[in-house]
Amino acid sequence: MSREKVVSLSVGSGGKQMQDFIEEIIHTKFSNDILLQSSDSAILDISHGIESGKLAFTTDSFIVQPEFFTGGDIGKLSICGTVNDLAVSGAVPKYISLSLIIPEGYKYDNLERVLTSIQQEVFKSGVKIVTGDTKVMPIGTLDSILINTAGIGEIVKDLTKFSNISLGDNVIVTSDIARHSMAIMLARDEFGFVGDIETDSASLNKMMESVYGYDIKFARDATRGGLSTVLNEIASKIDFGIEIHEDRIPIRKDVESLCKTLGFDPLSLANEGVIVLIVSRRDTNKVIEVLHSNEYGKEASVIGEVSTCKNVVLNTFIGGRRYVEVPHGEILPRIC
Amino acid sequence: MSREKVVSLSVGSGGKQMQDFIEEIIHTKFSNDILLQSSDSAILDISHGIESGKLAFTTDSFIVQPEFFTGGDIGKLSICGTVNDLAVSGAVPKYISLSLIIPEGYKYDNLERVLTSIQQEVFKSGVKIVTGDTKVMPIGTLDSILINTAGIGEIVKDLTKFSNISLGDNVIVTSDIARHSMAIMLARDEFGFVGDIETDSASLNKMMESVYGYDIKFARDATRGGLSTVLNEIASKIDFGIEIHEDRIPIRKDVESLCKTLGFDPLSLANEGVIVLIVSRRDTNKVIEVLHSNEYGKEASVIGEVSTCKNVVLNTFIGGRRYVEVPHGEILPRIC
């Protein structure tokens, strides 16, 4: 049996092995004009002009454990996460930086798998990786690969302003919740459960672009901290509250059961393919219609509205009313 | 004795503790209009126009061990490194993203120290931190804090094109070499040496801006892989070679002695405050004069020229000639 090829410290040292790694692996997988000409920085030509005069700029580090799970891996997440952060800001994602921090001894096969996922997602979302960095940490100092991406997009319509939100606006979630967290839990294999819950991780920029033409007031993806955190942040920044209805929150039966069994509140769990949209009443139906025609928006639902209540109020299945709290403590670590 | 405050997993979980961390620590330290309004992305207004029509975009992860050393720490490096990558591309650095990956149990005092360094360097270099991310890794999975920064700058003069380099151009280094690597070696305290070698880590954007007006053909900072790597990369991309002269390469006596004792080639060691400039003969003296008037360019020296030789040739002290090779293997790990 031949020894498996693994990543050595020299790949991160700045010398010959790093140059080879970048030329043979990174440049081959992510070939584009800008990347190939990149030296210390990528040069981005915006001389054709940015119509809105505004760029969106974001960053995210990915530390998920395990690195591979049903429907995705850390590589796919690292592109979708940054693409979605740009898309919910109202930007068309354009340029991505890719920074890898790899443990010494990491299997080349796994690295290949992660990089292939990145390549596929870059292609799907239509962004370009234009600059990057590779570091290797000595054995015993890091237990898994880490990825940071930063992204630049061209703002079409600024969706980050809480001040655009009005009383009576509707609250839409674009997909069923809590799937990503439960996919990770199953992949950890700590509880003896078997199932095929897939992460919802997906690049949602094309779906967002299809609704920019409507009266969307605000958007945010419900990642770490889940729906609870996003709704509470919105409520804390406006003069009104948000009222939501449990029976309208889309969640898959198997996901819901697993959450109940494990004692998690699905509202507080991380998603990687769920966006919260605040939409005027006038355009709500049209937006839902457009979302339903997208593969990632089939479960889109109007879950509530901006109301005169305080904070975030949940109307439960059984007719009760309770405040939705911002999660405290650890929730689930290393979920993204 | 009271227990020291340490970072808990919940700071990276997306819930209440993370919001508090961001508002109380990150927003307080790096307060600026854009950061405070950032949600998933920072919105950058470029409607006043980018004169050159070009932006520079770069990223770097910092994993240096130990985190604190003479003259700097991982926080200072994380700003200087990205600022310098933009500056050598010919850009005025503008916007920085800051992504922290913190081990659970990391002392708040150390985090405070790192963030204060970042704050000071951001102020010195004149950039703005406009977006960021915080993740916490569980105990036992990561042994030190990691920082990723990405940066956006406005290109004044594109200095990344090898094709601008001509036969006869001079090669300048802006400061004495190998100081950063030796500062880290001393801080590791593995060899029983005592000394006060300071890192050369500094934001060199203001110094670069002072020479953009001259006939600079190309620039690159000599970080990982050192001077050898930069010169060899240049030589490999042009039709000529580079000839350098050992007696003109600035190096501090104590740094040189330590390199000799430890068996390191100073040409292959990482710097954090040394830039290689390729400059036309006509403007060489003027550029040297301007560099000498800057606190980080006092040791600037014309170390050689673009010549008809092959690859990179070093004329040694004792009158010999040898090729300067790209370093192979590990060199020094976790140096930046």
Q: Are residues A109 and A228 in the same domain?
A: no
Record: contact A160-B101, CB cut-off 8 A: no
B265 CB within 8 Å of a chain A CB: no
Residue A210 sits in a domain of what CATH number?
3.90.650.10
A136 CB within 8 Å of a chain B CB: yes
In a domain, A330, yes or no: no
Q: Are residues A116 and A176 in the same domain?
A: no
Last residue of a domain, one of A155, A183, A212: A155
Record: contact B18-A333, CB cut-off 8 A: no
Q: Are residues B195 and B100 in the same domain?
A: no
In a domain, B20, yes or no: yes
Categorize the per-residue pLDDT at A224 as very low, low, confident or very high, splitting at 50, 70 and 90: very high
| A281-295 pLDDT tens trace | 999 999 999 999 999
Contact between B310 and B242 (Cβ < 8 Å) = no
In a domain, A3, yes or no: no
| A144-162 pLDDT tens trace | 999 999 999 999 999 999 9
Alpha-carbon A48 to chain mean position: 30
Last residue of a domain, one of A101, A120, A155: A155
Q: Are residues A92 and A170 in the same domain?
A: no
Q: Are residues A171 and A273 in the same domain?
A: yes
pTM score, whole prediction: 0.96
Specify the pairing of strand B128-137 against strand A321-323.
unpaired
Alpha carbons A154 and A150: distance in angstroms, whole number: 14
Residue A55 sits in a domain of what CATH number?
3.30.1330.10
B268 CB within 8 Å of a chain A CB: yes
| B100-155 pLDDT tens trace | 999 999 999 999 999 999 999 999 999 999 999 999 999 999 999 999 999 999 99
Q: Are residues B317 and B171 in the same domain?
A: yes
pLDDT of B190 strictly over 70: yes
Q: Are residues A174 and A305 in the same domain?
A: yes
B311 CB within 8 Å of a chain A CB: no
Contact between A271 and A331 (Cβ < 8 Å) = no
Q: Are residues A221 and A168 in the same domain?
A: yes
Alpha carbons A41 and A86: distance in angstroms, whole number: 21
Q: Are residues A86 and A167 in the same domain?
A: no
Contact between B44 and B130 (Cβ < 8 Å) = yes
In a domain, B287, yes or no: yes
The ipTM of this complex is: 0.96
Contact between A14 and B180 (Cβ < 8 Å) = no
In a domain, B79, yes or no: yes
pLDDT of B213 strictly over 90: yes
Our CA dihedral for A198, A331, A88, B122, rounded to 10 degrees, sits at -130
Record: contact A40-B224, CB cut-off 8 A: no
Among B114, B117, B124, smallest CA distance to B93 is for: B124
In a domain, A308, yes or no: yes
pLDDT at site B277: 98
Average pLDDT of the segment spanning A228-252: 97
In a domain, A336, yes or no: no
B139 CB within 8 Å of a chain A CB: no
Interface of B with A in 154-173 (CB under 8 A): 155, 158, 160
Q: Are residues B102 and B192 in the same domain?
A: no
Q: Which two tokens stand for residue B218?
A: 């190309």
Record: contact A54-B45, CB cut-off 8 A: yes
A191 CB within 8 Å of a chain B CB: no
pLDDT at site A48: 81
Q: Which two tokens stand for residue A152?
A: 């630049």
Q: Which two tokens stand for residue A173?
A: 């979630």
Record: contact B333-A42, CB cut-off 8 A: no
Specify the pairing of strand A301-307 against strand A170-173.
antiparallel
Q: Are residues B202 and B150 in the same domain?
A: no
Packed helices A74-88 and A108-125: angle between N→C axes, nearest 10 degrees: 30
Last residue of a domain, one of A133, A155, A177: A155
Instruction: Please state the φ and ψ torsions of residue A250, each to the nearest 5 degrees.
Output: -70, 130
Q: Name the strand (E) or helix (H) holding A303.
A: strand A301-307
Alpha helices in A213-272 (DSSP H): 226-237, 253-262
Q: Which two tokens stand for residue A199?
A: 């992460």
Burial of B214: CB neighbours in 10 Å, binned 0-12, 13-18, 19+: middle
Alpha carbons A214 and B17: distance in angstroms, whole number: 35
Among A88, A133, A229, beta carbon nearest to B14: A229
Q: Are residues A174 and A294 in the same domain?
A: yes
For B85, nearest residue in chain A (alpha carbons) = A40
Categorize the per-residue pLDDT at A325 as very low, low, confident or very high, splitting at 50, 70 and 90: very high
CA of B210: how far to CAs of B176, B204, B291, in Å? 19, 10, 8
In a domain, B166, yes or no: yes
Its domain, for residue A173, covers 162-323
Q: For chain B, how many structural domains are there in total?
A: 2
Among A264, A56, A260, smallest CA distance to B42 is for: A56
